Amino acid sequence: MNGPAGTPTPIATHPPEKQGEGRVVWITGYSSAGKTTVGRLVEAELRRRHHSTVFLDGDDLRSIFSGRWGYDRADRVELARVYFRLCSHLASQGHVVVIAAVALYQEAREWLRENVPGVLEVFLDVPEAERRLRDSAGKNVYAKAGDMSVMYDGPGETALHLENHGDATPEVMAQRILAAFDAQSTSTASYGRQAHWGDYYSKAKVPIEPSPFAREVASQLPADSRLLEVGCGNGRDSAFFWSEGHRVVALDASEAAVQLAGTAHGETSIDFRHGPLPTVAPELKAGFDAIYSRFVLHAMPLREEEELLDAACALLREGGRLYVECRSINDPMARLGEVISPTERIHGHYRRFIVKDDLLERLTSRGLTIESEVESSGLATHGNDDPVVIRIVARK
């Protein structure tokens, strides 16, 4: 794949396009597979396309974190997880991160896949003899470390495998990676949420009294309101609204939660449904007087929140109200646990802490009018937990 006179074919360029959604391109392979060379070409082309890019090299990162981690498996795995947490933090701010690092450990890969959306894993496959030949002219890693394949777990099943030897050139490798990047659709990371909430609700150790927010909202609802609860959990607030004389539809993305709610409140006429609101919405008749969402928005990534708000606005009647309570970025818990992004943490389970002004803008941009908003502790106490929460009432 060479041009005239044997010159390498240049990497194809594309019309400039502003890209605001972060991604991660992980270029891996054993030592001397050509990761850094190819990675720099990929990053340079993405930058020419007007992506905001960051290039990270495993050797540089180990030097930056010098002295903290050794070379046994446990230290290597943890260092790989640190690399990927850094990638996640940068990608969450709209950067395309190209990282050239071995990091071939299943534990680290699983963390990356579960917690970082839009990951492209590329494995540069080079025979050991060729790698050793390249290495002998530079790092001499193999003389010290020996067989690389026994030190790592190998590439993932979904990795893009590229033969980076023989007639292959770094430019050709970069072209193929960029083609895969263009073809890949981004996805929302799972963050282990399904397993966590399934386990949480299957144990049924959750409060049964209505929440303080539900009591406050009930005091504002007109009689016989048609109400939709999004994220009903065990159904305690839905049951309370029903007992106050309202017609209630309640849904939750956790199947275990819906089963628990249906069993606990089987004597009611509440319409319990399983699934996220954007999925369930086509099955529902629009014209709700109220849509109620407590401690839900901070349990989902921003993209899912945006889709939820779109669906909620479509289901509300004119004059209907959206009631929201969620954890604030000013909650002390926002500084605990593994860092996923500036607003996301995993501390026991995934949370995205909400910036009030940003949420208000997302609501008003959908044509909603803010009737009230407050950010404070003391509103949602439970046992020893007194989170800083945001409460908003918005009218369509």
Contact 173, 38 (CB under 8 A): yes
Q: Note the pLDDT tens digit of each residue in 233-274.
A: 999 999 999 999 999 999 999 999 999 999 999 999 999 999
Per-residue pLDDT for the chain (396 aa), expressed as one digit of tens each? 344 444 444 444 333 333 457 899 999 999 899 999 999 999 999 999 999 999 999 989 988 887 777 778 888 899 999 999 999 999 989 899 999 999 999 999 988 888 888 899 999 999 989 988 988 887 777 777 667 777 888 888 889 999 999 999 999 999 999 999 998 876 667 878 878 877 878 775 667 899 999 999 999 999 999 999 999 999 999 999 999 999 999 999 999 999 999 999 999 999 999 999 999 999 999 999 999 999 999 999 998 999 999 999 999 999 999 999 999 999 999 999 888 889 999 898 999 999 999 999 999 999 999 999 999 999 999 888 899 999 999 999
Give the fold, CATH level 3, of 193-395.
Rossmann fold (3.40.50)
Give the fold, CATH level 3, of 4-183.
Rossmann fold (3.40.50)
Q: Give me the pLDDT at residue 2, please.
A: 41
How far apart CA 259 and CA 204 sit, in angstroms, is 11
How far apart CA 80 and CA 266 sit, in angstroms, is 48
Q: Give me the pLDDT at residue 205, please.
A: 63
How far apart CA 242 and CA 259 sit, in angstroms, is 18
Contact 135, 142 (CB under 8 A): yes
Question: 138 phi and psi, to 5 degrees?
Answer: -150, -95
How far apart CA 151 and CA 128 sit, in angstroms, is 14
Residue whose entry in the numeric block shows the structure tokens 């260092």: 79
What are the boundaries of each domain within the chain? 4-183, 193-395
DSSP-assigned states of every residue in 142-178: HHHH--GGGTS----TT-EEEE-STT--HHHHHHHHH
Tokens of 347: 């501390």
* N-terminal to C-terminal alpha carbon distance within the chain: 58
**Same CATH fold assignment for domains 4-183 and 193-395:** yes
CA 92, chain centre distance (Å): 8
Contact 42, 178 (CB under 8 A): yes
- Report pTM: 0.71
Question: 303 phi and psi, to 5 degrees?
Answer: -60, -40
How far apart CA 325 and CA 363 sit, in angstroms, is 13
Q: Note the pLDDT tens digit of each residue in 58-101.
A: 989 988 887 777 778 888 899 999 999 999 999 989 899 999 99
230, 232, 235, 240 alpha-carbon torsion, rounded to 10°: -50
How far apart CA 267 and CA 246 sit, in angstroms, is 15
Question: 163 phi and psi, to 5 degrees?
Answer: -80, 105
How far apart CA 288 and CA 311 sit, in angstroms, is 12
Helix (H) or strand (E) holding 136: helix 128-136
Q: Give me the pLDDT at residue 216, please.
A: 97
Q: Give me the pLDDT at residue 11, please.
A: 44
